[in-house]
Chains A and B, each alone.
Chain A
Amino acid sequence: MSDATYAFVSLDLPAALAGVLAALTCALLGNFLVLRRQALMGDAISHAVLPGIVVGFLIAGSRATWPIFLGAAGSALVAVMLIEALRRVARVEAGAAMGVGFSILFALGVLLIEQASARGVDLDAGCVLYGQLEYVNWYPVHDWGRFWTLEHITTGYQTATTTISPDTGLPILIKEGGLPRQLWMLAAVAIAAFTFVGVFYKELRLTTFDPALATALGFRAGLMHAMLMVLVASATVAAFEAVGSILVIAMLIVPAAAARVCTDRYAVQLLASLAFALAAGVLGYIAGAFAPAWVGFEGRALNVAGTMTLVAAVLLTGAIFLAPAHGVLWRGVRRRRLALSVAVEDVLAALYRGDESGDPSRVADLPASALTLKALSVLNARGEIGRAPGGGWRLHEPGRRRAASIVRRHRLWESWLVDEMGLRPDHVHETAERLEHLTSDAGALEPDLPPRALDPHQRPIPPDDDA
C-alpha cells in the first residue's frame, strides 16, 4: 500500500465514513421530525444532551463510550419530558417551552464543562459543537492479504510499535488494528434507526400523518413518538464526538426538508432524504478536506462538519428552486405561461369585439404592457393576426375562429350568470372575463339556458364552430 493510499485509508476514509453515517442516520430520523412539525426537537435535544455528556465523562473519568452515552441519553430524556411537562402541565406555549427547557439544560452543561476543565479534564464545549473528526482514525495493517479479514477490521489496536524510519532516521509510532470506536458507535445507532423505520414503516406513517386516526385504530402514537425521541438522542450522542452537534441538527432537518420540497410520497421522501444526506456527506468531506488544497491552500482544511452542512444547504436551495412540482422556479414559469395565455386570449377577444363594433382600434383598450406586446408578437408569428392596412392589427381566419370561441364562452357565461344566478347584467362582465379563460367548452352551459342568440347586453353569441 502506498503512503498516499495509507493516509487516505487511515485518516480520510474513517472520518468521511463517520460523517456519512451520521448524516444518513439523522436524515432518516429527521423525516419524521419535519413531517410531524417537530423539527426543532432535534435542535433542543442536541443542546440538552450537554450536561449528561459532561456528567458521564466526569463519572467515567475518560472518553469511555458507555457512561457518556448513558449520561447523554438520560439528559435527552429529561429534556423531552421537561419540555412536554412545561407544555402540558404548566401550559407554556410550545415554542417557549422548548426554548426554556433546552437553554436551561445547555447552560447547566456549559457551567459543568467550565468547572470540569478547570480540573484539567480534557473536554471543552467547542468539541461538542464542532466534533473532532481528526481523532477518528484507523491504522490498518499494511498487508493487503490480512487487510480485509473480519478479525482485522473488528479488533481494536493490536499493536503499537516504534520503528526507525529508513528515510528520516526518526522514530515512527506504528499502530495497527480495527476501525475506531466512534465508527462502531455510529454504525450501531444507524442499524438501530434503519431497523426501527423498517419494522415500524406503516405505524410511523400512520402516526405521523394522522395521529388521531392512529390512536383510534389502536396504534400507540405516544410510544412511537417516545421511541423516535430516544433514537434522535442516540444519534446525537453517537455523532457528537465525531462530527459535532451542529452537523446533527443540520442533518436532522435539511435533507428531510429538501425531500419534502421535492415529493408528496412517503417512500420517495425517505429515499430522497437519504440521497441528499449521502451527497452532502461525500461532497462536504471533499469540499472540506481536499478542496482547499486544490485552490492553492496546500495543507489547509476547513471544518468538515461545517462544509457538509453547507453542501446540504446548497442542495436544499437547489431543491427549493428546481423541485419538479413545487419548485419556485417552475411555479414562476407556469405562472408566466398562464399570464401569457390569458393575454393572448384577451387580445383576440378585443380584436373580435373591435370588428364587431366596426372600430378596429379597440385593441388600444388593452393594457400597454410588455405582456400584451408579447401576446401580439406570439399571435403574429402564429399567423392568427396580422398588420392592418391603416396601422393596428386585424384578425386572420384561424385567429377569428379562436376569438369567436373565446367571445362565445364569455357571453355564454354572462347569460348563465344572469339567468341562473340572478345577477344584474352590469355585474357579470368581470366574472365572465375570468371564467372565459378557464373554461375549455362553454357549450355545457347551453342546455341550462333558454335558446337564445343574444347575451344580456344584446350582443350576438357567436355560434359553435365545431358543431
Chain B
Amino acid sequence: MSTPASITDAGIDWPTLGELAHTLTFTAGFNAAVVVASASLLGVAAGIVGAFALLRKRALMGDALAHATLPGIAAAFITAALLGGQGRRLEVLLLGAAVSGVLGVLCVQLIVRHTRLREDAAIGIVLSCFFGLGVVLLSAIQSMSVGDQGGLASFIYGQTAAMLPRDAVLTGVVALLALIAAALLIKEFTLVCFNDEFASVQGWPVARIDVLMMALVVVVTVAGLQAVGLLLIVALLIIPPAAARFWTDRVRTLVILSAILGGLSAYMGATASALLPRLPAGAVIVLTAGVVFAFSMLAAPARGLVAVGVRRVRLSARISRDHALRELVVREKTEASAITPAALASEIGLSPPAGRWLAYRLTRVGLVEREGVGLSLTDRGRTLGRRIDRNHGLWQRYLIDQADVAPSHVDLSADLVEHVLSPEMVERLEAKLTHAGGGAPA
C-alpha cells in the first residue's frame, strides 16, 4: 500500500461465508476449532465467576491479580531454564502465574488489614509493584542467553495465534473445571453475595466460601492469560456481568446471563480473530464484550438507559397532566372564563410551548376541550381532576394532622407524593383521617 498513514484502507482479505460458517461451527480444522471452543469456555467461566466478583464489589481485585501473575510467569521461566528444562511449557508458566497471583491478592488483603491504606490504593500498589518486578525479570531474561523466550511477552497482550493446540486444550480444560466448580457452588456464592451476614448467622463458612470464590477468579485469570493477555483478562471478568446487571435484579438470572454474554463475546471475538488477520484475540473479545455492554446499557428493559428515560418522561408527563387537571378543576369553582394554554402553563410552572403541547395531548385523549382560545374540562376530565384534587387534599391533611408538617409547607410535599398514591392508599388515608376526625376536602 502506498499510503500507510490511513487505517481505513486496511486491505483485509474478507473471509467467505463458507469459512465463517466453518469457524463458527467448529469445523474449520482442529486448531481453529480448539481455540474458538476454549475461548468460549473461558468466556462462560469468566462470566459466572465475574458476576460473583462484581456482586462482592471485587471487580478490580481481578486486575491486581492479573498484573501480579507476570513475575510468576517470568520466575517460572527462569527457574525452568536454570534447571535445564524447557522454559516455555505452559503448565509450568501458569503454575508460576497462579502462585504469584495469589501472593498479590494476599498482599492486597494484608495491606488493607494492617495499614491505614484503602483498598483502591492497595490494589494499585500490588498491581504496579508486581508488574514492575515482572518487567525487571523479563529484561533479565532478555539478557540471559536462553532460547525460546519470544512467547513470554505474549502473556501481556495475549495471542491466540501463538497458542499451540495442546495449550488451547489446556486452557479449555481449566476453564471447564472452573465452570463446573462455579456451577456446583452457585448456591453458596449466591447466599454470600446476597447477604453475607445472614449467611454467617446461618452457619455458612463465609470466609471459606470467599476464598473459594477468589480461587476461581485466580483459575479463570490464569487460564485466560494466553488467550486474552493479563492486561485484558480483567475485562472478561467485569464487562459481561456489568452488562447482565442492566437486564435483571435477580442473582441467579444475573449469573446465567453473564455466563451467556461472556461466552458469546469470547466466541464471536475468537472467531473474528481466527478469520481476519491482525486482529489480536484479546482486544477483539473485549471490544465485542464492549459492544454487548453498550447494547445492554441502552436497550435492557429493566435498567437500560432508554427504558429508564422513557419511564422518566412518562412520569413527568403524568405529573404535568395531573397538575393541569387539578388547576382546571379548582379554577372552575371560582372563575367563569376559560384559561388559555399559555396561562395554564405558567400556573403549573411549565414553559408556554410545553403548555401548548400539554393542551394538545389532553384534548386528544378527551380530558379537555377547546373553548375558543381557552380550555375547559370534559366530563371525564372533570371526574379525573376532582379525584386528583381529592388525593392532593387527603395527602395535605395527612401531612398536617399526622406528620406535623406546617400548613405553609404541605403544598410542595403533597405535590410530590399525590401522583404516586395508589387507590388502596387513598382508601386507607380516607379511613385514617375520618377516624382521626379530620375531614377531607370533598
Contacts and interface: CB of A to CB of B under 8 A. Distances in A.
A318 interface: no
B129 interface: yes
The DSSP consensus for interface residues of chain B is helix
B310 to A, nearest CB: 15
B114 A39 contact: no
Contacts, number: 204
Given A93-B54, A96-B242, A250 B279 contact: no
A307 B1 contact: no
B136 A89 contact: no
B378 to A, nearest CB: 40
B287 interface: yes
A344 interface: no
Contacts of B238: 96, 99-100, 103
A40 B61 CA distance: 11
B61 to A, nearest CB: 9
B239 A110 contact: no
Contacts of B246: 90
B385 to A, nearest CB: 35
B125 A254 contact: yes
B143 A300 contact: yes
A171 to B, nearest CB: 28
Contacts of A92: 242, 245
Nearest to A121: B4
A99 B279 contact: no
Nearest to A111: B283
A100 B236 CA distance: 9
A306 B234 contact: no
Contacts of B345: none
B235 interface: yes
A445 B79 CA distance: 68
A309 B125 contact: no
Interface stretch (A4-12, A124-132, A457-465): A124-132
B59 A95 contact: yes
Given A246-B131, A309-B129, A90 B297 contact: yes
A396 to B, nearest CB: 41
Contact of B125 (A107, A302, A316): A316
Contacts of B333: none
A159 interface: no
Interface residues of A, number: 72
B191 interface: no
Given A43-B127, A96-B242, A320-B115, A111 B5 contact: no
Given A92-B245, A300-B143, A305 B279 contact: no
A98 B128 contact: no
Contacts of A42: 124
A348 interface: no
Interface in A248-289: 249-250, 252-254, 256-257, 260-261, 288
Interface in B263-301: 277-280, 282-284, 286-287, 290, 293, 297
Interface in A343-394: none
A114 B272 CA distance: 14
A268 B135 CA distance: 32
A47 B59 CA distance: 17
Interface in B123-155: 123-125, 127-129, 131-136, 138-140, 143, 153
A91 to B, nearest CB: 7
Chain B contact-residue range equals: 35 or more
B394 to A, nearest CB: 34
A96 B254 CA distance: 15
B132 A114 contact: no
Contacts of A261: 115-117
Contacts of B138: 303
B59 A126 contact: no
B90 to A, nearest CB: 21
Most chain A CB inside 10 Å of its own CB: which residue of B115, B124, B140: B124
B18 to A, nearest CB: 25
A249 B234 contact: no
B121 interface: yes
A310 B293 contact: no
Given A104-B239, A328-B114, A246 B132 contact: yes
Interface in A231-257: 246-247, 249-250, 252-254, 256-257
Contacts of B1: 119
B63 interface: yes
A110 B283 contact: yes
A357 to B, nearest CB: 44
Contacts of B278: 114-115, 118
Contact of B7 (A90, A112, A292): A112
A254 B131 CA distance: 13
A246 to B, nearest CB: 5
A28 interface: no
A90 B294 CA distance: 10
Most chain A CB inside 10 Å of its own CB: which residue of B111, B283, B286: B283
A38 interface: yes
B297 A260 contact: no
B115 A312 contact: no
A347 to B, nearest CB: 31
B42 to A, nearest CB: 16
B239 A103 contact: yes
Interface in A283-332: 288, 292, 297, 300-303, 305-310, 312-313, 316, 320, 326, 328
B129 A326 contact: no
Given A99-B63, A253-B128, A303-B138, A129 B121 contact: no
B94 to A, nearest CB: 21
A61 interface: yes
Contacts of B54: 93, 96
B239 A39 contact: no
A308 B133 CA distance: 10
Given A100-B293, A121-B4, A107 B124 contact: no
A88 to B, nearest CB: 12
B7 A306 contact: no
B32 interface: no
Contacts of A153: none
Given A92-B242, A306-B135, A39 B124 contact: yes
30 contacts: A39-B120, A39-B121, A40-B120, A40-B124, A61-B5, A93-B54, A93-B59, A96-B59, A99-B239, A100-B293, A103-B238, A103-B239, A103-B286, A104-B239, A104-B293, A106-B286, A107-B287, A114-B283, A119-B4, A121-B4, A249-B127, A249-B128, A249-B131, A250-B132, A252-B124, A261-B115, A261-B116, A306-B133, A309-B133, A320-B115
Given A34-B117, A99-B63, A99-B238, 9 more contacts: A61-B5, A93-B54, A103-B232, A106-B232, A107-B282, A110-B280, A253-B125, A256-B121, A306-B139
Give the 10 A-B residue pairs with the shortest CB-CB distance, closest first.
Answer: A309-B132, A103-B235, A250-B128, A306-B135, A306-B136, A107-B286, A303-B139, A313-B129, A99-B238, A119-B4
